[in-house]
Chain A
Amino acid sequence: MSSVNAQWRSLEELMQDPDFVSRVEQEFPMLGAALSAPRDRRQALTLMAASLALAGAGLSGCDGAPEGHLIPAVRMPSGVVPGMPDYYSSAHVEGGYAAGTVVKHFMGRPIKVEGNPFHPASLGATSPIAQAELLDFYDPRRAWGMTQANLPRSRSALEQALGEQRDKLAATGGAGFVILTGASTSPTLAAQFDALRKSYPQIRWLHWEAVGRENAEKGVALAYGGRFELKPLLQDADVILAIDSDLLSAAPGHLRLAREFAARRNPTRAKMNRLYAIEATPSLTGAVADERFIAGPRETRRILLALAAALLGGAPVEGPPWLDRIVSDLRANRGRAFIHLGPDHAPQAHALVLAMNEALGGRQAVYTLLDAVTHASSDDSLSLASLVTDMRAGQVSSLLIIDSNPVYAAPGALNFAEALGRVEFSLCLSATPNETTAAALWAAPMIHPWEGWSDARAFDGTASVMQPQALPLYQGVEPYHVLGLLLRPDPPPALDLVRQTWNDRLGGAVGDAWIDALAQGVIPNSASPVSNRPLRDDAARAALPEPSSAATILLFRPDPYLLDGRYADNPWLQELPRPLSKISWGNPLLISPRRARELSLANGDVVRITLDGAHVTTPIVITPGQSDDCVVALLGFGRRHAGPVGRNIGVDFFELMGRSCAAPDIQKTGATEELAGTQHHAAMFDESGVYARSGALSQFLADPGFVRRSDEPQPSFYEWKPEGPAAWGMSIDLNACIGCGACVVACQAENNIPVVGKAEVLREREMYWLRIDRYYDGPPESPKVNFQPVLCMHCEEAPCEPVCPVGATMHDAEGLNVMVYNRCIGTRFCSNNCPYKVRRFNYFDFAGEERRAIESRNPEVTVRARGVMEKCTFCLQRIAAARIVADRDGETASAVVTACEAACPTQAFTFGDLAAKGSEVAARRAGPLSYALLADQNTKPRVTYEAHIFNVDKPEETQK
């Protein structure tokens, strides 16, 4: 790496730190360390003898006579064909909102989650979390029993205790009884709460999320005077302004929003929209924005006021100089402009933005107002803070906590655990033991959502019935059962309750309507009606709260994958590199380059933050593009009472939450911690220093082929002819990629890719077949971001093949670069010779060491042993399945969809047969923006990219 890359992956690279440069130049950076360890002749001979003996044992241990048993069912379940997958609809619920999924089964065992194309919030895509739910389902930690005061009790003892509560409820009319649960959209749960209130009028319930959208909901209430849901319609939005927004990554319906947004990002296919982002800390929305402006928490208030003055009229407020451009662009696109504000802003700010949206005239065109989808708590005045006050005051005698972990995730200032100790009867229902189950009087294992009947609604209100994917694996309790026991001793099963809810729509008996709803995963025409509620006159008049005057403000954000810590035990989500920091297994404090310089901090330096008497120590990571006015703490880590995966990984920042807004005191401790960041792993090298090519729309309009370089291989003299009946290829649209990571987890689930843990990530041994490279472009204070998914390029002239001494990596007639695991002897020559650095070596028996149910693996893909190389196969198992069906049934092959392509919310991947007529992938490859990565190596990759175009020019130039 001799020249400075125009695009850089990390600050060390930008600064050309000599240690760093010498390290990333090596293919196997840890080899040097291993070789420098002291060793002697005896040890060398011992190792040689051992390896010879093991090799001998391995050879003679080659498979001999068949072993094992064939165990047919006693009675074959109907519809199950041995050896073939089955699919059942379900939904992934996040913050109450459902996104439809389809669970793939083999012989009754769930092995993979796919999106549900019929579901409006999924459209066939999934989030990384939905993919990773598979591991939660099989989590052996779910096998724990009921406890009372942390001692094992029987189920009947719990039912008896609940019986006593029922008697008490009847006597008191529900006074002092509170149910605490997460946000919910389940009509069946709402019906059950209503039934409880009917019997016990004074019973109370609180829907609480540690990182919720309470502010946005309150803002809507301020603006419209009721509970409504805002549904953005991004396909018709020409100009979008996102302020500290999570529009594309976490907002309700974000998968659909990302699809709608990305559909208008490639100028070869559509008229481009334009996205402005104003934010304090980089987010996925900001990363893909055409123009991104950094504004700290204090500045944002002024910007909102300036925007309001410009759009709503009133005394002008001076904003930053660039704001005028945004305002004039918004005004010029009246009716097609939309402003989105992130959930961390105050309700008043949300109301103000809603008023601005009304003034921009986009209602019904770029957003609509729907009747609320989430349920309200029993009374408006009830909040977690008021609940804790009541608990302290002895006004809560019984607390039922369902699927919520307030002891961990409540703001530290509330000291929920101490308040919980004052409650006479507390029961916590949780899938796995956690901080709250340990603190509550009673605790019981809850079923996984895949083990029982339920229902949930999408962000637009569309309802799904969630059917069980399996019988309960670990004897969990259904929440409906516990709530039912409060009403009567023999509550009806959950199925009856769900059937009752949907009786009107789907009929009383099991008929076509019910079966169709289950098969499609959606209940037809169940979306919330569009509301015509006008904006209140005083919507924009509420005063925005003053932000803290401290020099540095501590902001809290949910971790993108662990959320509020509920997925801390999920190894796929722990190891998945965070989209921008590329750090796995940890949550260092995000700090801006300038602030780090002032405090003389480097990546991994440990600091001590003190805020209002509470303190935590945490490593830091310098975050390009962050405001100097704030440091950002990611929540969800530092779980004290979690499984072996999540326990004490990272830092618990909930401790600092809810404290007064006084300035946090940040002191360097002198200690350092290694951060498992992957940004400089698998570094490629190109003379130009540009990997993810990009440009401005004006460049594209002037010369559509501007991304091509003159030194690239010219078209061949010989006509390209596919060797086999198909020629598989892929095109990746960098305009669409938002870096969310869904493809990476989907690939991991589909291809049995093991998790390696923090220590091995630090040794650059993560096993991802598909990685998303994140490149920065420009100054570290405010760089542009480019995401680039990189997988095996299936080069037609593959450099890995000629160097393999045993022919373990070969080419097949359809253009796949295939890996034959049982031939591989682990020389790693192929990896050394791969310019794209996409090959992964099993340094240990990573797959064997995973604490993972064997049943959860994909039986269609070999589980790789220690000492073999592996890499992307283009989902060969899916190709093979399609090939067999086509050859067997004489039909043309159905389209093969790879796992990454299926999961991608923005359809950045297009996979297919380059030789087929009307092939989409061939058309995309021929497009003007198409380019091959490291084209000068003449590897003729079967994967090509479409360069990233930013719509940064004057509005009139955007017209195609």
Chain B
Amino acid sequence: MGSVFRPAANLWASLALLLLSLTLVAFSLLVWFWPHGDAARGVNWAPAQPVPFSHQHHVSGLGIDCRYCHTAVEVSTNAGMPPTYTCMSCHSQIWTNAALLEPVRNSLKDDRPLAWRRITDVPDFVYFDHSIHIAKGVGCSSCHGDVADMALTYKAKSLTMQFCLDCHRDPGPRLQPKDKIYDTRWRRDATTPAPDVLLAQYGVPERNLTDCSICHR
């Protein structure tokens, strides 16, 4: 009786085993690293919104300040989303018949709020406070990216714990001058004061910013 397998079968078996183990390794790596990757976090992803609102047009084009709509950003944990009334303060005068703005007009007419898709979020066990970051020289763009250049708003940073800690461990280089906080195009350049100077100027306190209790409650 002849042999069932030819000599080449040894090679195929080894290759199959190798492939299997590589697949397993790759799968494990994927399971481990995928959740930390930008894709899983929805970075650069702009979901469809009830109204295709353009920050680029309103901020860069018209020069509206962030705080015109996100009114609570300096005093509250939340930045605040603009109520329909804020939109209509202009759009009752201009583009009053634009089809794009139909949902906004309907919201006012029916007294039903607009439901915007969430773009940036931190997990429920993280307590982020906008006001303290603004007060201590962390500009909008640090977490939200160059919003003024976004035709459709998308998530620009991963907002993982690693992302937060990078800054909490060494805030100095990322601090922005007081008058540039709301300038999302700001970049550190030669005229920017040194990190130490900014740290002192903002009086970033002697707190241990990497304590668990700073963000988790």
A63: B residues at CB distance < 8 A: 123
A888 near B135 with CB under 8 A, answer yes
Which residue of chain A is the closest to B109 with respect to CB atoms? A74
The smallest beta-carbon distance between B84 and chain A, in angstroms, is 4
Which residue of chain B is the closest to A72 with respect to CB atoms? B81
What's the tally of chain B residues with a CB closer than 8 Å to chain A? Answer: 52
User: Which of B76, B80, B125 neighbours the largest number of chain A CB atoms within 10 Å of its CB?
Assistant: B125
B213 near A74 with CB under 8 A, answer no
Asked whether any CB of chain A lies closer than 8 Å to the CB of B52, the reply is no
B132: A residues at CB distance < 8 A: 884, 887-888
Instruction: Mark the stretch among B12-20, B178-186, B202-210 that contacts chain A.
Output: B202-210
B119 near A66 with CB under 8 A, answer yes
Asked whether any CB of chain A lies closer than 8 Å to the CB of B216, the reply is yes
Asked whether any CB of chain B lies closer than 8 Å to the CB of A33, the reply is no
B208 near A724 with CB under 8 A, answer yes
CB under 8 Å from chain A, chain B span 182-217: 203, 205-208, 211-214, 216-217
B216 near A862 with CB under 8 A, answer yes
Question: Interface size bucket, A side?
Answer: 35 or more
Asked whether any CB of chain B lies closer than 8 Å to the CB of A702, the reply is no
Asked whether any CB of chain B lies closer than 8 Å to the CB of A67, the reply is yes
A64 near B107 with CB under 8 A, answer no
> Whole-angstrom distance between the alpha carbons of A63 and B124 in the complex?
10
B41 near A65 with CB under 8 A, answer yes
Asked whether any CB of chain B lies closer than 8 Å to the CB of A813, the reply is yes
> Whole-angstrom distance between the alpha carbons of A70 and B216 in the complex?
22
Q: Which of A62, A73, A813, A873 contacts B217 (CB 8 A)?
A: A873
B115: A residues at CB distance < 8 A: 69-71
A821: B residues at CB distance < 8 A: 125, 216
A84: B residues at CB distance < 8 A: 72, 75-77
B111: A residues at CB distance < 8 A: 74
A820 near B216 with CB under 8 A, answer yes
Closest 3 CB pairs of A and B: A65-B42, A83-B78, A66-B121
A-B contact pairs, 26 of them (CB 8 A): A59-B31, A63-B123, A65-B41, A66-B42, A66-B155, A67-B121, A70-B81, A70-B116, A71-B114, A73-B83, A73-B84, A74-B113, A81-B75, A82-B72, A82-B76, A812-B208, A813-B208, A813-B211, A822-B123, A822-B216, A862-B124, A863-B124, A873-B213, A880-B214, A883-B207, A887-B132
The smallest beta-carbon distance between A111 and chain B, in angstroms, is 15
B77: A residues at CB distance < 8 A: 83-84
B118: A residues at CB distance < 8 A: 66-70
Asked whether any CB of chain A lies closer than 8 Å to the CB of B66, the reply is no
What per-residue 1/0 map shows which CB atoms of A777-818 lie under 8 Å from chain B?
000000000000000000000000000000000101110101
B213 near A818 with CB under 8 A, answer yes
The smallest beta-carbon distance between A780 and chain B, in angstroms, is 44
A60: B residues at CB distance < 8 A: 31, 35
The smallest beta-carbon distance between A737 and chain B, in angstroms, is 27
CB under 8 Å from chain A, chain B span 101-160: 107-108, 111-121, 123-125, 127, 129-132, 135-136, 155
A74 near B119 with CB under 8 A, answer no
Asked whether any CB of chain A lies closer than 8 Å to the CB of B163, the reply is no
> Whole-angstrom distance between the alpha carbons of A863 and B112 in the complex?
30
The smallest beta-carbon distance between B33 and chain A, in angstroms, is 12
> Whole-angstrom distance between the alpha carbons of A888 and B42 in the complex?
31
B203 near A890 with CB under 8 A, answer yes
Which residue of chain A is the closest to B107 with respect to CB atoms? A74
> Whole-angstrom distance between the alpha carbons of A391 and B120 in the complex?
66
Q: Which of A81, A812, A863, A884 contacts B211 (CB 8 A)?
A: A812
Asked whether any CB of chain B lies closer than 8 Å to the CB of A171, the reply is no
Q: Which of A69, A82, A863, A876 contacts B213 (CB 8 A)?
A: A876
B216 near A818 with CB under 8 A, answer yes
Binding site for B on A (CB under 8 A): 59-60, 62-76, 81-84, 723-725, 810, 812-814, 816, 818, 820-822, 860-863, 873, 876-877, 879-880, 883-884, 887-890
Which residue of chain B is the closest to A823 with respect to CB atoms? B212
The smallest beta-carbon distance between A563 and chain B, in angstroms, is 34
Which residue of chain A is the closest to B120 with respect to CB atoms? A66
The smallest beta-carbon distance between B78 and chain A, in angstroms, is 3
The smallest beta-carbon distance between A431 and chain B, in angstroms, is 29
Q: Which of A66, A74, A724, A887 contacts B108 (CB 8 A)?
A: A74
The smallest beta-carbon distance between B24 and chain A, in angstroms, is 14
The smallest beta-carbon distance between A60 and chain B, in angstroms, is 6
> Whole-angstrom distance between the alpha carbons of A821 and B113 in the complex?
34
Further pairs besides A81-B76, A887-B203: 20, Cβ < 8 Å: A59-B31, A65-B42, A65-B155, A70-B115, A70-B117, A71-B113, A74-B84, A81-B75, A81-B80, A82-B80, A725-B205, A822-B123, A860-B127, A861-B217, A873-B217, A877-B217, A887-B132, A887-B207, A888-B131, A889-B135
B213: A residues at CB distance < 8 A: 812, 814, 816, 818, 873, 876, 879-880
A68 near B113 with CB under 8 A, answer no
> Whole-angstrom distance between the alpha carbons of A187 and B152 in the complex?
59
A813: B residues at CB distance < 8 A: 207-208, 211
> Whole-angstrom distance between the alpha carbons of A60 and B206 in the complex?
37
B212 near A810 with CB under 8 A, answer yes
> Whole-angstrom distance between the alpha carbons of A83 and B129 in the complex?
9
> Whole-angstrom distance between the alpha carbons of A62 and B112 in the complex?
33
Which residue of chain A is the closest to B76 with respect to CB atoms? A83
> Whole-angstrom distance between the alpha carbons of A888 and B202 in the complex?
10
B42: A residues at CB distance < 8 A: 64-66
CB under 8 Å from chain A, chain B span 5-52: 31, 35, 40-42, 45
B45: A residues at CB distance < 8 A: 65
Q: Which of A68, A877, A884 contacts B131 (CB 8 A)?
A: A884
A81 near B72 with CB under 8 A, answer yes
Which residue of chain B is the closest to A816 with respect to CB atoms? B213
A83 near B127 with CB under 8 A, answer no
A725 near B206 with CB under 8 A, answer yes
A73: B residues at CB distance < 8 A: 83-84, 113
A72 near B83 with CB under 8 A, answer yes
> Whole-angstrom distance between the alpha carbons of A729 and B132 in the complex?
25
> Whole-angstrom distance between the alpha carbons of A861 and B80 in the complex?
20
> Whole-angstrom distance between the alpha carbons of A889 and B75 in the complex?
10
> Whole-angstrom distance between the alpha carbons of A873 and B127 in the complex?
15
> Whole-angstrom distance between the alpha carbons of A876 and B214 in the complex?
9
CB under 8 Å from chain A, chain B span 62-85: 72, 75-78, 80-85
Which residue of chain B is the closest to A890 with respect to CB atoms? B203
A822: B residues at CB distance < 8 A: 123, 125, 216
B72 near A69 with CB under 8 A, answer no
User: Which of A725, A860, A861, A888 neighbours the largest number of chain B CB atoms within 10 Å of its CB?
Assistant: A888
> Whole-angstrom distance between the alpha carbons of A887 and B113 in the complex?
35
B40 near A74 with CB under 8 A, answer no
Which residue of chain A is the closest to B75 with respect to CB atoms? A81
Q: A69-B116, A69-B118, A860-B127 are in contact. Are A83 and B80 (CB under 8 A)?
A: yes
A887: B residues at CB distance < 8 A: 132, 135-136, 203, 205, 207
> Whole-angstrom distance between the alpha carbons of A71 and B80 in the complex?
10
A66: B residues at CB distance < 8 A: 42, 118-121, 155
> Whole-angstrom distance between the alpha carbons of A59 and B113 in the complex?
35
> Whole-angstrom distance between the alpha carbons of A67 and B129 in the complex?
20
B208: A residues at CB distance < 8 A: 723-724, 812-813
The smallest beta-carbon distance between A106 and chain B, in angstroms, is 10
> Whole-angstrom distance between the alpha carbons of A822 and B136 in the complex?
28
A68: B residues at CB distance < 8 A: 118, 121
The smallest beta-carbon distance between B42 and chain A, in angstroms, is 3
The smallest beta-carbon distance between B80 and chain A, in angstroms, is 5
> Whole-angstrom distance between the alpha carbons of A848 and B119 in the complex?
26
B114 near A72 with CB under 8 A, answer yes
The smallest beta-carbon distance between A855 and chain B, in angstroms, is 15
> Whole-angstrom distance between the alpha carbons of A725 and B78 in the complex?
26
> Whole-angstrom distance between the alpha carbons of A65 and B117 in the complex?
12
The smallest beta-carbon distance between B43 and chain A, in angstroms, is 9
The smallest beta-carbon distance between B168 and chain A, in angstroms, is 13
The smallest beta-carbon distance between A917 and chain B, in angstroms, is 17
B117: A residues at CB distance < 8 A: 69-70
The smallest beta-carbon distance between B70 and chain A, in angstroms, is 10
